[in-house]
């Protein structure tokens, strides 16, 4: 896991104080935009409206869309619904009560990128039984996996410690991580080294150094965890029609623990 990266190359990914300050501002912009979209995700709103909200908020805060720097991608957000997992293109469809919506977006501020995602149950604020209750349990497992993995982002730990936390938490809840997708480094580009897989073993992989910046992603499914690409060339969905889930935070690796850059709940 990540054996192609030497420790010398990793040192190039350690950020200095000036770079960290810009990344923190980028993370704030990402978090605030993510919060705006989450709060607007109610029955009757369209995915295109959510895309407009994200674009407007990032611009208002002095940032630009990170995702639009990806060749061939022309949107600020990736929006996934129900069986979709990642990279969903904003479309003219309307959200319905009980949909599972994944919101993924990123900002770039003065050349520095951050990335974040969250999945929500549309409408239905009261905890329910049956299908709604299962959807809530599904989302709770993915969020729990994210925070357990984030807690491993401290100097001296290894990538495998993050990956193992993701996999174990998801699988203990009865779901499956999507092994073909992963988290990644963030910084001067939207996606950088190192790769942060959704599965792995504790104590193996690249050793983390203080002030590295990475995006940790809990990417999982209610079924087998196998995916396929839809005809639009971007959207990835589960091949068995089961629910897809995505939770993501950009973090700074700390000496004693991580600093989360994109926690929308703070704002």
Domains and their CATH numbers in the chain: 7-266 (3.90.230.10)
Position 205 scores a pLDDT of 94
Report how far Cα 161 is from the mean position of its chain's Cα atoms: 18
- Choice among 1-10, 99-108, 148-157, 214-223 with the minimum mean pLDDT: 1-10
Mean pLDDT of all residues in 154-181: 98
Other Cβ atoms less than 10 A from the Cβ of 119: the count is 25
Burial of 24 (0-12, 13-18, 19+ CB in 10 A): middle
Position 124 scores a pLDDT of 64
Position 128 scores a pLDDT of 47
User: Which of these, 187, 140, 229, lies nearest to 23 by C-alpha position?
Assistant: 187
User: Which of these, 61, 66, 63, 93, lies nearest to 77 by C-alpha position?
Assistant: 66
Position 12 scores a pLDDT of 62
Beta-bridged to residue 234, according to DSSP, are: none
Q: Is the pLDDT of residue 6 over 70?
A: no
Burial of 87 (0-12, 13-18, 19+ CB in 10 A): buried
pTM over 0.85: yes
Report residue 164's pLDDT band, with 50, 70 and 90 as the boundaries. very high
């Amino acid at each position: 896991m990540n054996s192609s990266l030497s420790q010398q190359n990793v040192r190039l990914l350690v950020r200095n104080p000036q770079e960290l300050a810009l990344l923190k501002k980028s993370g704030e912009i990402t978090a605030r935009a993510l919060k705006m979209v989450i709060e607007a995700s109610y029955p009757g709103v369209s995915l295109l409206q959510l895309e407009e909200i994200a674009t407007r908020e990032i611009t208002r805060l002095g940032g630009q869309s990170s995702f639009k720097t990806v060749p061939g991608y022309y949107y600020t957000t990736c929006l996934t619904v129900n069986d979709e997992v990642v990279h969903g293109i904003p479309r003219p469809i309307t959200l319905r009560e009980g949909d599972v919506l994944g919101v993924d977006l990123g900002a770039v501020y003065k050349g520095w990128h951050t990335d974040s995602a969250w999945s929500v149950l549309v409408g239905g604020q009261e905890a329910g039984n049956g299908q709604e209750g299962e959807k809530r349990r599904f989302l709770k497992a993915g969020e729990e996996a994210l925070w357990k993995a984030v807690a491993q982002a401290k100097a001296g730990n290894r990538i495998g410690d993050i990956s193992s936390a993701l996999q174990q938490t998801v699988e203990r809840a009865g779901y499956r991580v999507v092994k073909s997708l992963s988290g990644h480094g963030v910084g001067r580009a939207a996606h950088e080294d190192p790769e942060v897989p959704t599965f792995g073993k504790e104590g193996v992989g690249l050793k983390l150094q203080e002030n590295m910046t990475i995006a940790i992603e809990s990417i999982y499914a209610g079924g087998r965890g196998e995916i396929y690409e839809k005809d639009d060339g971007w959207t990835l969905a589960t091949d068995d029609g089961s629910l897809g889930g995505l939770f993501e935070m950009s973090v700074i690796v700390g000496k004693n623990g991580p600093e989360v850059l994109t926690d929308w709940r703070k704002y």
